[in-house]
Amino acid sequence: MSARRSFRRRVRYKFDTVLARGTIAVILWLGLITGAVVLVSGTLLSVLEIAVHGHQVGIIEGIWQNMLRSFEPAAMEADTGWPLRLQSLFVVLFGILVGSSLIGLIASGIERRVAELRKGRSEVLEENHVLILGWSEKVFPVITELVLAHRGRKDSVIVVLADHDKIEMEDAIRARVRHLGRTRIVCRSGDPSNPADLALVSPYETRSVIVLGNNHIDGDAQVIRSVLALMDDDRFSTLRVVADCALPENADALREASDGHAITTTSSELIARVTAQACRHTGLGTVFEELLDFGDVDIYFHDDSRLAGRTFGDLVMSYERGAAIGVRYPDGVVDLNPPDDHVFAEDEVLVVVTDNLESLDLRPEPARPELPPPSLGASSATRSSILMVGWNALAPKILGELDKWVEPGSTIRILVDESLVSKEEVAVPGLERLQLSVTTTYHSAPRKVAELCTAEAYDRVVVLCYRIGLSAEEADARALMTLLQLRQFRQDHPELGNRMSVLTEVLDIRDVRLARVAGAEDFIVSERITALMLAQLAEDPDREKVFADLFETTGSEVCMRAISDYGDPQPGLAYGAYVAAAQRAGHLAIGYRLSGARGKDLASAIHLDPPKSKPVDLGPEDRLVIVVSRDTDPTLGPNATDSARRQYEGTPAG
């Protein structure tokens, strides 16, 4: 009995082993068993001389007849004689058993394969695709911008590898990125820092790799681990890797560890610099977004053999469309706003702001329409009076950057909700130009905002989101409530509200439309600003040098200046006349902003890279958007350098 049980167990074990090998193995075994049954039964027909349809059959014919009966039971209808009928009945029953088993196996195999595909663990065999490693709120604006950048390509693929459910990622992307165009999105579930999981998405066949941190405190650790996993291959040096870090020290360490092959950005530093610059001029935040996104104008590197021998000053006015802002030397160094007498060498490339690089048309000679000289003196810099409502970890960085730009003696008052941030937490040591004061309130009391705006007549209000103690939705809701308070104040006090502009931070890009309705002029969407930069660098790493120059305090800057500082505007005068006037002052005009626009109308009032021959009706209070070097004061006021003022006045320098 024990031997018999042992035999049954061994047979059962063998059977279980066959089943465990998967659907294909079971189908093969069923096929072999079916073949054996058909072979044996067909041989018996011949050996036992059983007549089929009144004729004796050989072995081959017997096998054929039984194979027909195993596939189609109706084949036995014409059988006569009980020996043939019994034999056919056995073959038919066996065929039904095998057929039903095969159908079940195939159905379950397909279902299992679909379930595996839904898990996102299948291999991605793509080339020249963009790979995004990690998952955070930035993934949606990054994909949106990449779709815009790839809108002219026939086969654009973006692959996302993250430690999330594949179906959930796909649903979230479909909900947040509405227009994908020709771009295909492929999601895979896995650990971006695991080389085995990385191998699923063909990382070394990509066009570029973007590494995102998660939304948790260990986001930088995840980014570093993912880049190190990519470095575990000799092909890493051929990759274009852009990594987003929260802390500058982590970004520097990662760049050094990768020997510069990984381009790193620091979210907090970038947002602080953009916010600080946007605090200076209404509409500058919108200008930065247009330069960073792929929707309208972009920064390009224009390589043209006809540039050799031409001076930069001539090239500024030699394009109908396209605002020349700098030069890239053969060693990769980028110089913005170089001297007008700089002569281009053969390997030097023009840095230009335009909406279409292919449409640039270089004229043999520059066109220089004239703008009458200004009847009034150039405007001088004035002290700023700023109100900041709200506080978060970015605020000290913003104030540190803002302190480098404002005039000495400028003031900033911080209004915080004491239930979320204590007065002692609002401390920024080392401020030299800004005089900081703190006021506390509870639950952002409407009267307090109105009282402060009435008492001190601010020219700029910055609304920041609280990031501790509130969810992103609650923080944005608090910011929107503050915007409504400011809107009501401006309506009740037009004499104060007309000189006040509002800059707000929102955490969720979906709340931008609500902020416009609430009355904000400029917007700093934290996740979006970083995402735009990542997408720009993923498409062209050389743009990092341009943005670094624009956002560093030691390089060049983008700012705005009144038209009246350059000359007396005339109705219907060509835009190129204003570009030429700005160039005489040592500035490079890339567009203009109409005055008086607020809220949702501000974006339509900003025009970047218009045709130089286009007639425009600009007033004295309208502003040019300019790129200017740090050693040339953009206001040409009391702090302007002597050489800059002489250049502006048309006299020789030195």
DSSP 538-580: HH-TTHHHHHHHHHSTTSEEEEEEEGGGT----TTEEHHHHHH
CA 518, distance to chain mean position in Å, is: 26
- Looking at residues 474-503, what average pLDDT do you find? 85
Residues 457 and 508 placed together within one structural domain of the fold: yes
Residue 74 burial by CB count (10 A; 0-12/13-18/19+): exposed, middle or buried?
exposed
Q: How confident is the model at residue 647 (pLDDT cuts 50, 70, 90)?
A: very low
Mean model confidence pLDDT for the chain: 82
- Are residues 446 and 572 part of one domain? no
- The pLDDT score that the predictor gives to residue 204 is 93
Residue 497: which pLDDT band, with cuts at 50, 70 and 90? confident
Apex 56 CA angle, 55 and 59, nearest 5: 135
Domain region containing 144: 130-260
Confidence of residue 365 (pLDDT cuts 50, 70, 90): confident
Q: Is the confidence at residue 562, as pLDDT, over 80?
A: yes
Instruction: Clarify whether residues 158 and 46 are in a common domain.
Output: no
- In this predicted structure, the answer to whether residue 377 has a pLDDT above a threshold of 70 is no
Domain count, the chain: 4
The alpha helices in 21-138, defined as continuous H runs, are 23-47, 59-71, 82-118
Polymer length of the chain: 654
Proportion of the chain above pLDDT 90, given as a percent: 30
116-120, 443-447, 619-623, range with greatest mean pLDDT: 619-623
Q: Tell me: do 526 and 391 sit in the same domain.
A: yes
pLDDT band at 47 (very low <50, low <70, confident <90, very high): low
Looking at residue 568, its amino acid is D
For residue 567, is it within any domain? yes
Range of weakest confidence among 74-88, 280-294, 391-405, 534-548: 74-88
- Distance separating alpha carbons of residues 543 and 265, to the nearest angstrom: 12
> Does 350 share its domain with 413?
no
Is residue 512 included in any domain, yes or no? Answer: yes
- Report yes or no on 514 lying in a domain: yes
**What digits encode the pLDDT tens for the residues 278-330?**
887 788 888 888 888 887 889 999 999 999 999 999 999 999 999 999 999 99
Q: Are residues 389 and 478 in the same domain?
A: yes
Q: Is pLDDT above 60 for 415?
A: yes
Domain boundary among 260, 291, 324: 260
CATH code, domain with 42 = 1.10.287
Residue 27 has pLDDT above 60, yes or no: yes
Residue 530: what pLDDT?
A: 86
Tell me which of 24-28, 353-357, 385-389, 578-582 is least confident. 24-28
522 and 400 in one domain?
Answer: yes
Query: Would 447 be classed as within a structural domain?
Result: yes
Whether pLDDT at 437 is above 60: yes
* pLDDT tens-place string over residues 101-160: 777 767 776 676 666 666 777 888 888 999 999 998 889 989 999 998 898 788 899 999
Q: How high is the pLDDT of residue 640? A: 40
Which of 48-52, 61-65, 429-433, 501-505 is predicted least confidently?
Answer: 48-52
User: What does pTM read for this prediction?
Assistant: 0.76
Q: What's the average model confidence in pLDDT over 45-62?
A: 68
Cα dist from 97 to 26, 41, 107, 313, whole Å: 14, 16, 16, 87
Question: Is residue 442 assigned to a domain?
Answer: yes
Q: Are 135 and 249 found together in one domain? A: yes
Domain closes at, from 260, 289, 313: 260
The residue out of 464, 498, 531 marking a domain boundary is: 531
Q: Please tell me whether residues 389 and 525 are part of one structural domain.
A: yes
Residues 305 and 250 in one domain: no
* The predicted structure's pLDDT at residue 107: 72
Burial class (CB in 10 A: 0-12, 13-18, 19+), 426: buried
Same domain, 501 and 399: yes
Q: Which of 27-31, 461-465, 574-578 is predicted with the least confidence, judged by mean pLDDT? A: 27-31
CATH number at residue 185: 3.40.50.720
Q: What is the pLDDT of residue 77?
A: 62
> What is the model's pLDDT at position 393?
85
Question: Is residue 191 over pLDDT 80?
Answer: yes
Residue 465 counted as domain residue? yes
Q: What is the pLDDT of residues 90-103, one digit of tens each?
A: 777 777 777 777 77
Q: Is residue 488 part of a domain?
A: yes
Query: Could you tell me if residue 404 is inside a domain?
Result: yes
pLDDT of 229-262, one tens digit each? 999 888 998 899 999 988 888 888 999 989 888 9
